[in-house]
Amino acid sequence: MIALSLLGPMVLKARVSAAKPGYTINNYRAITIPTVDGSWTTADEWTDAEEKELDGSLAVYFRLKYRLLSGTSYQFILIDFLNDTTDDSGDGWMICIDAHHDGGGAPQPDDYRISLTGHCISGLHVYKGTGSDWVETTDFNWGTDLVIVNNINPSPHLSTPHWICEFKINATWCDLLNDYTIRVVAFDASGGGNQVWPNSTSNVPDD
Ligand SMILES: [Ca+2]
Ligand SMILES: [Ca+2]
Q: Point out the ligand nearest to the CA of residue 77.
A: 1
DSSP 8-state class, residue 7: T
Residue 139 lies in a domain: yes
Residue pair 98/175 in contact (Cβ under 8 Å)? The answer is no
Q: How far apart are CA 32 and CA 49, in angstroms?
A: 9
Q: How far is the CA of 41 from the centre of ligand 1 (A)?
A: 4
Residue 136 lies in a domain: yes
Ion ligand 1 residues within 5 Å by Cβ: 34-35, 37, 41
Consecutive H or E run containing 112? strand 111-117
Domain hosting 60: range is 2-197
Residue 205 lies in a domain: no
Give the domain CATH number at 8: 2.60.40
Residue 203 lies in a domain: no
Q: How far apart are CA 119 and CA 103, in angstroms?
A: 30
What's the structural domain count of the chain? Answer: 1
Residue 190 lies in a domain: yes
Q: How far is the CA of 154 from the centre of ligand 1 (A)?
A: 11
In tens digits, the chain (207 residues) has pLDDT values of 333 333 434 445 567 888 888 899 999 999 999 999 999 999 999 999 999 999 999 999 999 999 999 999 999 999 999 999 999 999 999 999 999 999 999 999 999 999 999 999 999 999 999 999 999 999 999 999 999 999 999 999 999 999 999 999 999 999 999 889 999 999 999 999 999 999 888 888 888
Q: How far is the CA of 78 from the centre of ligand 1 (A)?
A: 8
Residue 97 lies in a domain: yes
Residue 57 lies in a domain: yes
Residue 51 lies in a domain: yes
Q: How far is the CA of 39 from the centre of ligand 1 (A)?
A: 4
Strand partners, 67: 74
Q: How far is the CA of 187 from the centre of ligand 2 (A)?
A: 7
CB neighbours of residue 63 within 10 Å: 23
Q: How far apart are CA 101 and CA 80, in angstroms?
A: 26
